[in-house]
Amino acid sequence: MLNLIANYEKTVTVNQLKAAYSIFSQAVERSIEDNGDIATWELSYSDMAPKYIFPYVETVGTVKKYSMGALSPDTSFIHWGGWTNGKIYAMKNGMTYSLIYDHGDITLMVDINGTKGANRVGRDGFAFKLLPKQNKFILAGADKSRSEIIDYYFGGCKKYEQPGAYYSGEFCGALIMIDGWKITPTYPW
């Protein structure tokens, strides 16, 4: 029975991740059409979502800040400082997201089931990247090999045993995608 429930949860996760990927891919595409190439966008540490994302997704407001933990055993560390430093937006479909700009890196963090839980990267939180030089939107890590996706230090899709691996789980969405939109038995669920 527990295995059946776990398989159902994995299927729901994959379907929601695919939906988020589709929603935000289309949003970024339309934003590029209206606002020009990503490299020309006004990038700042202040909130970019109202200008570049709001007009293209069904955002219904903000939610109270909450933690998004990594896959590492150091669960006290809040993954993605911007997740709690920036605004977290709620969507009509129940997802939440935050657009984070940090030192030239643009990350769209999406919680596919909103504030419900588990609130862990690689479980219900997934990172997407906007790449200004390539003018692309991808799942974080999708530009890397499978072995890099899994083993990338502090950011791969595995549970690191050492404390402080606060980016573990960052590339898990890309692993699901390259595995044929499946959560395989080796996935760090």
| pLDDT tens string 76-88 | 444 555 566 678 9
Residue 66 is predicted with a pLDDT of 86
Q: Is the backbone of residue 58 left (phi > 0), alpha (psi -120 to 50) or beta?
A: beta
List, in sequence order, every residue forming a beta bridge with 101; answer none if it has no partner: 106
Q: How many other C-beta atoms are found inside a 10 Å radius of the C-beta of residue 100?
A: 21
CA distance 21 to 23: 6
CA distance 68 to 58: 22
Place of tokens 């293209």: 56
* Spatial contact of 124 and 97, defined as CB atoms under 8 Å apart: no
Q: Which of 148, 139, 146 is nearest to 184 (CA)?
A: 146
Q: How many other C-beta atoms are found inside a 10 Å radius of the C-beta of residue 22?
A: 10
Question: Could you tell me the pTM of the whole model?
Answer: 0.90
β pairing state of 125-131 and 96-102: unpaired
| Radius of gyration from C-alpha coordinates of the chain | 16
Q: What is the pLDDT along the chain (189 residues), one digit of tens a residue?
A: 778 878 899 999 999 999 999 999 999 999 999 999 999 999 887 788 999 999 999 999 999 988 887 776 655 444 555 566 678 999 999 999 998 888 788 999 999 999 998 888 899 999 999 999 999 999 999 999 999 999 886 678 987 665 555 567 889 999 999 999 999 998 988
Torsion on CA atoms 91, 93, 96, 98, rounded to nearest 10: -50
Residue 73 is predicted with a pLDDT of 60
Tokens of 124: 């219900």
What is the three-class DSSP state of 87? coil
